[in-house]
Structure 1
Amino acid sequence: MEYRKLADSDLQVSVITFGAWAAGGWMWGKTERNDAIEAIRASYDLGATSIDTAPIYGQGESEEIVGEAIKGIPRDKLQILTKFGMSWDGTEGEFYFKSKNNTGKDIDIYKYAGKERVIKECEDSLRRLGTDYIDLYQIHWPDTTTPITETFEAVAKLIEQGKVRYAGVCNYSAEQMAEAEKAVKLVSNQIPFSMVNRGVEDKTVPYCIEKGKSVLAYSPMERGLLTGKITPGYEFQEGDHRAGHGAFTDENIIITNELLNKIKPIAEEKGATLAQLVLKWTIERAGITIALAGARNAEQSVQNAKAALISLTEEEFKFISNEVDKTVLK
């Protein structure tokens, strides 16, 4: 495994970080709790020491699963990344969308990062994770109802108290990052990035490069679209958000699979899967620090972690990048 430092901090994270959204089950169809725990442990055994989760994932369940999975592992051998600013148990802030929890109950999701809420969420996360500090605490989405400086003054307080080591953001623009830094030093921005979703390369990634901030790429597999296992007419489990996602129309599946067929020979030559090649290309892209890769079971997490072992020549990387540049989803 390879490790990279977040910005100029002393926090070293694994280039393949375990993304625990699917582990929490919510919006992914059913996930078996024991399978998710085994996935995290198997990933750790291969050097993926960093785990990214959030309270909203399963409405606390993902963090509880992570907490159970890391029991017995020395805390200083792990990097726990979690988030705040999305609620399902109140109506404060900005309404986001309607959903159902893992038992099928209707819930309303809000974006809210008021000062007291941030403090409370941190305490709840520490309890669910079974730890006394969080390595990287990230706002999940911008909250337009709360001044950014108010939100990050709360995070600064948590850092002073030793409950949080470093502050980060998710889904923030360059302008929002600059505003947040008036209250606290940021080390990272977690943003969507994949071979077929590269919009952040226009402004946000260049800003992060210029300011020395790390980029944590989420959905690098585009929610499984880039595994090569999705074909036109694919049927998702009930409750899986991908069934209505624009990237999963038959037309876009065909476009994506054409790209994957072009780069497949490189994967085969290296004895790697398409997913591993995609992850390796992602972490070699300019400005990308790490890639978050989700898994529902140990087999998937092991395959993800092994992506870090692949080597790409400059010629191979350029070939893949050229094919990626020619691929545009509808």
Structure 2
Amino acid sequence: MDYRKIGKSDLELSTITFGAWAAGGWMWGGTEQNDSVNAIKAAYELGVTSIDTAPIYGQGTSEEIVGEAIKDISRDKVQILTKYGMRWDVKKGDFAFHSKNNSGKDIEIYKYAGKESVVKECEDSLRRLGTDYIDLYQVHWPDSTTPIQETMEAVNKLIKEGKVRYAGVCNYNAAQMEEASRYVDLVSNQVPYSMVKRDIEKEVVPHAIENNQSILAYSPLERGLLTGKMKPGYQFGEGDHRAGLPYFTDENIEKTNEFLEKIKVLANDKNATLAQLVLRWTVEQPGITIALAGARNPKQAVQNAKAMDIDLTEQELVFITEELDKLRLNL
């Protein structure tokens, strides 16, 4: 496993970081808690020391699972990344969407990052995670009802109190990153990035590079689309959020698979899976520091971790990108 420094900080994360969204069961059609705990442990054994979670993932379930998985590991051997700013228990801020919790009850999600909420969420996360500090604390989504200054000053206070080491953001554009940096030492931005979703290359990545900030890429496998395992007609389980996304129409699955078939020869040559090849390509792109990869069982976690065992030459990276540039999805 490789490790990369985040921004100008002394925080180093494993280049493949464990993404614990699915571990919370929420929006993925359920999960087995023991499988998720064992997946995190299996990843750790292969050098995946960094885990990204959030309170909203299962309304606390994901953080509790992470806490259970790391309880017997020396705290300084793991890096915990969590978030704040999505509330299901108060109606404040920007309404995000309707959903259901893991019990099937209807809930409303709000993007809210007011000062008192940031402080409360931090205390709740520390309790669920079973730790006394968070390595990277990230606002989950922009909240238009709260000034960025108020949000970031609240995080700065948590840093001074020793409850948080470093401040990050998620889903911020370049202008929002610029403003946040006025009030806190911003080290990272976690944003969606994959072979089929590269819009951040226009502004967000150049801004991050210029300001020595790291990009943490989430959904690098585009929620399973880039594994090559999906076929037209794929049936999603009940509660699976992917069912209504345009990436998963039969047409787009077919087009994506045609592209994956072209680069499969390279994966075969490396004795690697398509998913491993995709992950390795992702972290070799300019400005991309970390790729978050989720796993619902130990087998998936091991496969994700071993993506860093693949070596890609400059010519091979160019070949993949040239084939990718020919792909046109109907979105």
Task: Name the counterpart of 1:281.
Answer: 281
Aligned length: 330
Counterpart residue identity of residue 129, structure 1: L
Distance in 1 between residues matched to 2:15 and 2:327, nearest whole Å: 25
**Structure 1: 5+ residue runs without aligned partners?**
none
Counterpart residue identity of residue 29, structure 1: G
TM-score calculated relative to the size of structure 2: 0.99
CA shift, 1:30, in A, is 1.3
SS of aligned partner of 2:187: strand
Give me the identity figure in percent. 71
CA shift, 1:255, in A, is 1.1
Distance in 1 between residues matched to 2:177 and 2:204, nearest whole Å: 10
Counterpart residue identity of residue 167, structure 2: A
Spell out, residue by residue over 1:94-127, the C-alpha distance to the aligned partner (whole angstroms, 9 max, x if none). 1000000111000000000000000000000000
| Aligned pairs for 1:1-330 within 5 A | 1-330=1-330
CA shift, 1:327, in A, is 1.4
Distance in 2 between residues matched to 1:24 and 1:134, nearest whole Å: 19
**Structure 2: 5+ residue runs without aligned partners?**
none
Spell out, residue by residue over 1:117-163, the C-alpha distance to the aligned partner (whole angstroms, 9 max, x if none). 00000000000000000000000000000000000000000000000
Counterpart residue identity of residue 93, structure 2: G
CA shift, 1:181, in A, is 1.2
Distance in 2 between residues matched to 1:261 and 1:235, nearest whole Å: 22
Spell out, residue by residue over 1:226-284, the C-alpha distance to the aligned partner (whole angstroms, 9 max, x if none). 00001000001100001111110011101110110000000000100000000000000
Counterpart residue identity of residue 34, structure 2: N
CA shift, 1:325, in A, is 1.6
Distance in 2 between residues matched to 1:151 and 1:8, nearest whole Å: 21
Distance in 2 between residues matched to 1:126 and 1:54, nearest whole Å: 11
Spell out, residue by residue over 1:167-225, the C-alpha distance to the aligned partner (whole angstroms, 9 max, x if none). 00000011001111111010000000000000111110111011110000000000000
SS of aligned partner of 1:67: helix
SS of aligned partner of 2:9: coil
Distance in 1 between residues matched to 2:230 and 2:122, nearest whole Å: 37
CA shift, 1:328, in A, is 2.4
CA shift, 1:324, in A, is 1.4
SS of aligned partner of 1:230: coil
Distance in 2 between residues matched to 1:328 and 1:46, nearest whole Å: 36
Distance in 1 between residues matched to 2:274 and 2:310, nearest whole Å: 12
TM-score calculated relative to the size of structure 1: 0.99
Ranges of 4+ aligned residues in structure 1 off by more than 6 Å: none
CA shift, 1:27, in A, is 0.3
